[in-house]
Amino acid sequence: MTAGVVDWRAMLPWGPRPRALRRMLQAVAMVGVLGAARHAHAYCRTISVPTAIGYDPAQTGSCWTGGDAGSGVYLAWPARSQVLYSIVANGSVASNAALPISLDDATTAADLAFGAWSGASDAGVGPLCAGGSPNVQALNKGPVAPSVAATDCGLNTCADTVHDTQHLIVFRDTFWPHSDPVNTLALTTVTYGVITGTIYDSDTEINTFQHMVTTEEPPPPSGYPSNTYDLQSILTHEAGHFLGMAHAVDTSAVMYAYYRPGSVELQADDVAGICAIYPPLPPAGGSCELASGRLHPWAFMVGALGLCLVSRRRGTATARRR
């Protein structure tokens, strides 16, 4: 599995950080074979080859395709999954931040952010995709204690054959554990199968240590320091990475690499991407697709050779001022 990391910078570019599960003996050799030819479009999907530092699809006019490392494979959750995420909290989620954030306020922002990708925020407007909603949904499981994050494999170093099923959102208000010369606002780490591109785990870190984050939406135009960013915008972008979206060519998209205040409504490009990755499906039955989205701990074993190795990749959000 590979894990990807997505970082967002202010006007920060954001992106995913991957970690990969690599099958012994044959996995690496097969990556290039399984990477299919890519179609030209404005929306971009996260692939198993880490994005070059500073790569901006909006500047190049094309999605990242792997460069000299090859095309890799697209990342996605299993069809019909209901992926459960949790906010790491102990009363509040960012008690030491310059702008304290309550669990209730963080929960509201997260639910709205993930709901945008399922069409939940468009009540009365019709389904997000032609024919229905995306076939994968992310739902709030409820908060977990900080002790859970302390051992989570998307946030800490684990053995290469291990991944967990806890998908966490954690606020880093006392330290930022990553080296990011471009002032990362948030980082999402995705763990996935390097051969199939199946996502097994996704964890998001919010940088409330170096940046001020507000839950006021839309963010106030004045009265706040210049390095203040709105949480719902950050999480809406990171939710896209969580689901397998990469930075977009279209500068109006939520998945554009740079932060914009109040960017909480999916644009046509974002909708096209999520509906292409997870198109509406007929009711489950008679197929081998996973209906519940639950994975057996060893579901990533492949063939007679079995054991897979795990790796992760990151995507970021940045806030570079222009």
**Does the residue 158 lie in any domain?**
yes
**Does the residue 320 lie in any domain?**
no
Could you give the angle at the alpha carbon of 198 between the alpha carbons of 82 and 66, nearest 5°?
135
Q: What pLDDT is stored for residue 303 in this prediction?
A: 22
Angle between helices 268-277 and 231-242 (to 10 degrees): 30
Query: For residues 3 and 188, is the Cβ–Cβ distance under 8 A?
Result: no
**Does the residue 107 lie in any domain?**
yes
What is the bridge-based pairing of β-strands 212-214 and 228-230?
Answer: parallel
Q: Domain containing 10 — which CATH number?
A: 3.40.390.10
Q: What pLDDT is stored for residue 220 in this prediction?
A: 73
Structure tokens at 260: 């914009």
Query: For residues 18 and 314, is the Cβ–Cβ distance under 8 A?
Result: yes
* Structural domain that includes position 40: 2-303
**Does the residue 212 lie in any domain?**
yes
> Closest Cα to residue 95, out of 217, 209, 177, 248?
209
Count of structural domains, the chain: 1
**Does the residue 319 lie in any domain?**
no
Place of tokens 């009363």: 91
Share of the chain residues as helix, strand and coil, in percent rounded to the nearest 5: 20, 25, 55
3-state secondary structure of 72: coil
> Closest Cα to residue 303, out of 172, 169, 196, 175?
196
**Residues of the chain below pLDDT 50:** 1-17, 20-40, 286-311, 316-322
Q: What pLDDT is stored for residue 287 in this prediction?
A: 39
| DSSP state, residue 64 | -
3-state secondary structure of 183: coil
Give pLDDT tens digits for 54-90: 788 999 999 998 888 778 899 999 999 999 999 999 7
> Closest Cα to residue 311, out of 3, 32, 31, 46?
3
CA dihedral 167, 172, 178, 179 (to 10 degrees): 150
**Does the residue 322 lie in any domain?**
no
**Does the residue 177 lie in any domain?**
yes
| Residue 134 to residues 90, 152, 197, 199, Cα–Cα distance (Å) | 33, 28, 18, 16
Query: For residues 154 and 312, is the Cβ–Cβ distance under 8 A?
Result: yes
Q: What pLDDT is stored for residue 158 in this prediction?
A: 82
Give pLDDT tens digits for 271-282: 999 999 999 988
**Does the residue 318 lie in any domain?**
no
Amino acid 53 reads I
